[in-house]
Structure 1
Amino acid sequence: MRVSRIFSVILLTMPPLFSDTESKRVKQWLKTDKNSDGVLTIDETSGLMRRFFNRNDRDGDGKLTKEELGKLDARLKQNPRNGEQRRRPEAALVEGVTVRKNQVYRSGHDRWKLDVYLPKEKAPKGGRPGLVFVHGGGWKNGSKESEFWASLPARYAAKGYVCISVNYRLTGDGGGFPACVHDVKNAVRWFRANSKELGLDPKRIGAYGNSAGAHLVSMLGLVKKEAGLEGKGTHLDQSSLVQAVCASATPSNFLKWKNQLFPNRGVLAGDQENHHARAAKASPVTYAAKDAPPFLLVHAENDRTVPFEQGEVLANRLKASGAKNVTLMRFKDGGHGVFRAKETKTYAAMEEFFAKVLKRSPGTTPPKNKVTNGCK
């Protein structure tokens, strides 16, 4: 309590953060926007803004938008002792959930860690279904520590799922493709290897991700061992495939990104000679197949970060391949943060999706094949 009060005093003594009006405050924060793209990444922040970046990144996409900065300004204006009530993401955890922080799924890198969220009650015979949560952030930012990626798995653990929230290597610390795919696949293999101790049914695992995380969970659903993307990590005797995927604002086709090849930088940085082949290998659409698991895709038509066509082409490619149970939730607005912007619809849809696919009794007929558009 005393530390929180000190934190509040420090905040109140910082003139740039607490100018007289909201517009001045947000404008002051955006002065560190080096590339003038209207958002702040963690590399463009410092001090308290950097320290509490993940807390204020409400959708966990590795960026602070003007909307998120405005909400931060409003929270601080309404309650200058806000830090006392929201010290850590754990404060949002629901009763009846046990959290195991920073479990190492592979040794040798600080990003090879995950958090486990467990229902406190004893697991039923055969184990519980599991969920893997993968943060976004353009493959260069983001963390399992952000409020969204801590509260969501806690929420599902309270509903009877065994959950993990995963960190992976980012482009600035040895990540990019294929390292990011290697890492999340390793995390799923770790999950399965520890299924008995965690009370997990290894045959019933789903995954959710947003933006870059949506790309990665799509790869978890589609990329088989023969594709050569398992990496050199641990538990290679285990499968890294998941049985259900929910993905929002999904990058799915790097070969046709805004009608051209995705640039040879960022997640796809590498030698120019193999750039086209690398883009194809990194694209979820490359692996669309009849035996693909059920997919729930969420995308907004006005997404300026990941074009709507990226979600649409994945849904269409899966359907054309004969995949069962493909649903596209299409919104006119909501932008890149559509999953939270339309949470009254998306949260319920994801909850129902995972319940139908992962909680059904053995022998139950799986959901029928469908692609649904027009969800406004």
Structure 2
Amino acid sequence: MHRDIVYASPTAGGEQRDLRLDLQIPRTKGPKPLVVYITGGGFMTANKAGNLDERTYVAEQGYAVASIEYRTTTTGSTYKDGVADVKSAIRYLRAHSAELGIDTAKVAVWGQSAGGYLAAMAGATSGTDRFEQGDNLDQSSDVQAVVDQFGVHDLAKVADDFDPETKATYMAPGSFINAYVFGPNSARTVVTDHAANRAANPATYLNRSSAPVALLHGDNDHIISPSQSLILLDALTRKRVEGTRYVVKGADHGDLPFLPDPEAGRKWTTQKVMGTITRFLDRELRS
């Protein structure tokens, strides 16, 4: 484990802040294919120490796994900053691949909840220069695979499966959704500002270079509408980008740092679920 590697130092909240990553590398010979893990946290936190057991399981299958911090609403940052941070981390790791012992010819991004959204955005914008900023701009931020667990996609519909009161709370000005699109203290919403909602939707950027996506969602998710993953799958199909959706029966939102419910994560840490993820990674990164 290499801890607290500074991969970028962007401005957030009017101050320059170091963004760090933790990197797990198996003790075997040769460079390891890279998986960049993006934690969740409701766009409000980004604790790179989260979900260590799941990350370790993937690393034990022969992958280098980098868990990254990114800018959030706590510093007034928006999705544009978060996507830029993911891309900065990928470029940094490609620039330092030889010394770190990783193979970056093919890179996967793997995110949960808010991290699933950022993973989808990074994959959708592969092959373009959107959201590129910071250092190591001579390196590519393109990815070759996306694992998106219970992420959001069409932000204006994130609560469509829920009751009217919950939907109103999610869509209110200043909610965690709207703050991540418009910044703090804005009266704008993704429901009324259709252009802003399109600009924040990974489906908008899908193109021939977009990475294949494995979508996983629980049919009992009480935080992010299960239909969100279906919305993105439909968009992938329309744009002829490879995508597969897996529904985990009875599973709630599995982002344990965000949802303090130990039972919520159990269905997400089974051999069946984790094996689905690693088989997808094997196919996309090792074939």
TM bin (shorter chain)? 0.7 to 0.9
User: Which one scores higher on RCO, CA 8 angstroms, separation ≥ 6?
Assistant: 2
Of 330, 333, 346 in structure 1, the residue corresponding to residue 250 of structure 2 is 333
* Counterparts of residues 219-234 of structure 1 (less than 5 Å): 219-224=121-126, 226=128, 228-231=130-133, 233-234=134-135
**Equivalent-residue separation in structure 1 for 2:266 and 2:115 (angstroms):** 15
Runs of 4+ in 1 over 4 A off after TM superposition: 108-111, 259-264
Matched, 1:206 2:93: no
Matched, 1:130 2:34: yes
Question: Does the CA contact (< 8 Å) of 1:111 and 1:168 recur in 2?
Answer: no
- CA positional deviation for 1:135: 0.4
2:127–2:210 Cα contact (<8 Å) kept: no
- Per-residue CA deviation, residues 169-201 of structure 1 (Å, 9 max, x unaligned), is 121124222111111111111111111212222
Greater fraction of residues in strand = 2
CA positional deviation for 1:340: 4.2
Spell out the pairing of 1:11-90 with structure 2 (5 A cutoff). none
- Correspondence list, 1:110-149, <5 A: 110=17, 112-123=19-30, 127-146=31-50, 148=51
Indicate the residue corresponding to 1:354 in structure 2.
Answer: 281
Q: 1:342/1:106 Cα in 2 relative to 1: closer, same or farther (>3 Å)?
A: closer
Provide the identity percentage: 30
Cα distance in 2 for partners of 1:222, 1:339 equals 27
What is the distance in 1 between the residues matched to 2:146 and 2:79? 20
Pairing 1:130-279 to 2, within 5 Å after superposition: 130-146=34-50, 148=51, 150-224=52-126, 226=128, 228-231=130-133, 233-259=134-160, 262-264=171-173, 265-270=178-183, 272=188, 275-279=193-197
Q: Cα RMSD (Å) of the superposition? A: 2.4
Which one has the largest radius of gyration?
A: 1
Letter of the 1:293 partner, please give it.
Answer: A
On the 8 A contact 2:34/2:107 being kept in 1, the answer is yes
* Change beyond 3 A, Cα 1:226–1:356: closer
Q: TM-score, structure 1 length as denominator?
A: 0.62
SS in 2 for 1:105: strand
Q: Which amino acid aligns with 2:25?
A: L
Distance (whole Å) between structure 1 residues aligned to residue 219 and residue 207 of structure 2: 26
Tell whether the 8 Å contact from 2:125 to 2:210 is kept in structure 1 after alignment.
no
Mapped partners of 2:55, 2:36: distance in 1: 8
TM-score by length of 2: 0.80
5+ long unaligned stretches in structure 1 = 1-98, 361-376
| Aligned partner (choices 235, 238, 253) of residue 317 of structure 1 | 235
Number of residue pairs aligned between Structure 1 and Structure 2: 255
Structure 2 unmatched runs, 5+: 11-15, 161-166, 255-263
Cα distance change on mapping 1:312 and 1:273 into 2, 3 Å? closer
Q: Quote the Cα distance in structure 2 between the aligned partners of 1:178 and 1:279.
A: 12
